Structure 1
Amino acid sequence: MIKLYNTLSQELEEFQPIAKDKVSMYVCGPTVYNYIHIGNARSIVSFDVIRRYFQYRGYAVNFVSNFTDVDDKIIQAAHEEGITTVELADKYIAAYFEDTEALNVKRADHHPRVKDYILEIISFIEELIEKDYAYEIDGDVYYRTRAFEDYGKLSNISLEDLREGASERLEDGAGTQKEDSTDFALWKTAKKDEVSWESPWGPGRPGWHIECSVMSTELLGDTFDIHGGGLDLTFPHHENEIAQTEAKTGVTFANYWMHNGFVNMEDEKMSKSLGNFIFVHELIKEVDPQIVRYFMASAHYRQPINYTHTALEEAETNLQKVHQAYTNVSYRLNSAAYELDRDVDDLAAFDALERQFQEKMDNDFNAANGFTIIYEMSKLMNKYSERVHVSKQVLNYYMGRYEEILDVFGIIVHEEAELLDAEIDALIQEREEARFGKDFIRADEIRDQLKEEGIILEDTPQGIRWKRKNHE
């Protein structure tokens, strides 16, 4: 039974889906006015792992993650680049997919955009006005936070403790005409020459919070299983989503609320104001995306992670160990028997470790503990591959289960072997002949020549092994 930490109850709860063996899940996506940074990537990777683990455990997951493509920052960036807001959003959505695919993130089942839900947003706001949860002043529409009795239940923040503007995003410079300082914008009247849509209150555009309420309920229903996002979204964004959605529908919005931890940069909180953030677009030009993925995916999603060069080096070392175990087993297929008498025991040994892995991950998707079991699997595979006699049945089973488990974290170990061209193949054969004839000088020369070609040779008791340098 999977247990997860519910931010709403602040407790570990057994996951009980609305529909048997199905998970409906909405995760807040980026505002597409620039490339995603490593903080965005942490959230994206965290929920990708959670989604993958649900699927590994046999659930069908309907996963929705939005793009905010209507926003003050988008308007400003589009103006600076001399293009339309749609062109700017298209540009950075394409970049988002390029960067996340490099990190081996699965695309969501739905990636809704605000611009495609304007009519639904207007209808949603109209219902809130009809129920007296919202009001219009001079073309702006605000939500009455004090009308919702449970406001603050997610973040445990009292309305009385909020200072003016606390429930607003930076783009709302109005506020003096609001009934209450804690009310937040649902619809904002258009300024001169900015993107807008016609509405019952005049030309304007949606506020930030309303978009996710509309897109999530349109795609997943009034109540769905899991709503997720970064810890920084707990208040005000998710708090406001709950207030406006439950006011409209009269039912629970999401049964479970999940939030991933922050990314610190060299022991300091990452902040755009401090300028200590890194765009993924630039990072993956310098660092293997699988190393970045491993660094993020191997930590517990709720815990903060500290980005340092040392942390990346450790991730690279651990990733190499994981790869090496798979490579060792794969190599032994060449000399394996079809079956051996002790296959049942060897298969059972891996199964026992996989059950331990599931126990660790079932406890709030604890990837850090899950990887302790993966390292035990690696040791088992390494030890087995060193035996004189090995079984194809066991080797293939180890490889298949290992691949599937690592796929939970988006780690790729299976790579199609690249064929050696005739020249390199001949050099390896010549080196073997030189060694057999005790011409070790020539053998070493060939090893060095192959190394320059990116081919690393390994002399093992089972024979020569090779790998390409960029696959390390």
Structure 2
Amino acid sequence: MSLRVYNTLTKQKEEFIPSEPGKVKMYVCGVTPYNHPHIGNARPFITWDVFKRYLEYSGYQVYHVQNFTDVDDKIIKTANAEGVSWDVIANRYIGAYYEVMDKLNIRRADLYPRVSEHMTEIIKTVKKLVDKGYAYVLDGDVYYAVTKFEEYGKLSGRTLEDMKAGARIDVDVRKGHPMDFALWKSAKPGEPAWESPWGPGRPGWHIECSAMSLKYLGESFDFHGGGSDLIFPHHENEIAQSEACTGVEPFVKYWLHNGFITVNEEKMSKSLNNFFLVKDILEHYPAPVVRFFVLSTHYRSPLDFSDERLNEAQRSLERLSTAMDNLKQLDEIPFSTETKEETNSFEEIAKRAEADFSAAMDDDFNTALAISILFGLAKEINIYYSSVVANKIPHRKEGYFALRNAYQTLADILGIELEGQGGNQNGELVEQLMQIIIEIRQHARKNKDWDTADNIRNRLADNGIILEDSPQGVRWKKK
């Protein structure tokens, strides 16, 4: 089965055929760094990180570009409120972005271009649109004329008539059409400005992504992504700008958009006071739990954020971690030289799991289904572990490595860290304390103090902790 993706442009699933065999070029809209990243920011970056990992696993060479919108009204407003330069704010929160995304195990993009570093390319793109008649100048501002681009609205499915009817009453009457959008804004007091053929000013929001993607990925490339809120107007305007500028269609072959994050089934927003920063969430939940939570729902579906859902993700991740712990325990057990027919099945189980996982991911990157495959493999690992420890089957090298390698490979594609997930950010301390408790219980058993030994076991069980005897000694796990 080949990879099929849901293309927002065509409103259907399509087979992925790269523009260049064996290579994938993708552009993902990045953050506007005026504040710490919120959970809504994190979802697309976790999503595209997994897409990239899977594409590389499938044999593609991936070139991933993700911008920073470091010149923006919100950044300027924040800077003026603090009495500092706009770039101080941008650099502060770009650093904050890297800090939390690294914790979420999001691999770095190949390139992070900034708006402030691409004024030459942006001005060149705007000038070309003016020269070709797709844009016009008004008192130092430059606007894109949407009526000049016949296919305007093809991504969002909107018509200019509908857009005009829904336009705000206070729209600039100087514009040729209410939906004409700014490519260049003339300088205003208290704002950064760059020289241009139309006077000092700064770019509009949409032109930056066109200019930078054209520079680094060419006139047509494979994937463009971001949140569903970017379909209109941002990505719609990108298509209009880029295709008008180059004359090449399509600007992007496959447009992929992730669904919204909701809180109690309402879209997350500051106005509703249900806005959650990643750094605050990570004070209460380990980063792997947050990542698992995001991936447990298909990327195009809404994702409802709650403590209940995060706690559920934490419990699920602990179950997967138990299988990884069992693999580590098996590492300490000598391999058998026996060969029994039933142990061959574990190699087949591993192969089937990898095939099923690929089938899930090939169906529009279905991480929710892929995770269920990982759970199935974890169950087989636990069966293998229990059978080996009970001496029901030999510990055979081939079966063991097939299970271990498949499990680690699939977890790595999802970017899920399965070691040390005791459900507590102080995992090392918990492990040390548990070893002390186990030693006290073992000492009581050695002295035939059965009441103390049983009391320790029972008290731990009451708190959801199970003690297990293994060939390597006593180990503990959560229920």
- Please give the TM-score of this superposition, normalised by the length of structure 2: 0.90
Q: Counterpart of 1:258 in structure 2: which amino acid?
A: L
Deviation at 1:461, TM superposition (A): 4.9
Query: Does structure 2 conserve the Cα–Cα contact (< 8 Å) formed by 1:31 and 1:67?
Result: yes
Q: 1:412 aligns with which of 411, 414, 417?
A: 417
- Please list, as runs of the form range in 1=range in 2, the aligned pairs for 1:160-239 lying within 5 A after superposition: 160-163=161-164, 166=167, 175-239=172-236
Unaligned runs of 5+ in 2: 422-426
Does residue 390 of structure 2 align to residue 385 of structure 1? no
1:432 Cα deviation from its structure 2 partner: 3.5
8 Å CA contact 1:164–1:182 kept in 2: the answer is no
CA–CA separation in structure 1 for the residues paired with 2:379 and 2:432: 35
Q: Which consecutive unaligned segments of at least 5 residues does structure 1 have?
A: 168-172
Match of 1:306 in 2: 304
Q: Are 1:439 and 2:478 counterparts?
A: no
Q: How far did residue 445 of structure 1 move? A: 8.3
Cα deviation, 1:341-362, whole Å, max 9, x if unaligned, reads 2453321111112111111110
Any idea what SS the aligned residue of 1:225 has? Answer: strand
Give the whole-Å Cα distance in 2 for the aligned partners of 1:210 and 1:196: 16
Q: Does residue 464 of structure 1 match 2:465?
A: no
What CA distance in whole angstroms lies between the structure 1 residues aligned with 2:253 and 2:364? 15
Moved more, 338-347 or 14-23: 338-347
The yes-or-no answer on 1:9 pairing with 2:7 is: no
Q: Is the 8 A contact 1:134 1:144 kept in 2?
A: yes
Contact 1:263 1:270 in 2 (8 A): yes
| Paired AA for residue 316 in structure 2 | N
Distance 1:108 1:345 in 2: 40
Return the match for 1:292 from 275, 290, 294: 290
3-state secondary structure, aligned to 1:163: helix
Contact 2:468 2:476 in 1 (8 A): no
Amino acid across the alignment from 1:298? S
1:426 & 1:265 partners in 2: Cα distance? 41
Shift of 1:335: 2.0
For 2:32, give the aligned amino acid.
T
Is 2:400 aligned against 1:395?
Answer: yes
Residue 271 of structure 1 aligns with which residue? 269
RMSD: 2.8
SS in 2 for 1:16: coil
Task: Tell me the SS of whatever aligns to 2:291.
Answer: helix
- Aligned twin of 2:424: none
Question: Displacement, 1:287?
Answer: 1.3
| 1:355 aligned partner | 355
Between the aligned partners of 1:339 and 1:250, the Cα distance in structure 2 is 67
Cα separation, 2, equivalents of 1:445 and 1:235: 63
Q: SS of the counterpart of 2:142?
A: strand
Q: CA deviation at 1:286?
A: 1.4
Q: Percent identity?
A: 44
Change (3 A) 1:67 1:166: farther
Aligned to 1:249: 246
Secondary structure of 1:150's counterpart equals coil
* Structure 1 position 101 matched with structure 2 position 102: yes
Question: Between Structure 1 and Structure 2, how many residues are aligned?
Answer: 462
Q: Structure 1 pair 467/194, CA: closer, same or farther in 2 (3 Å)?
A: farther
Contact 2:64 2:110 in 1 (8 A): yes
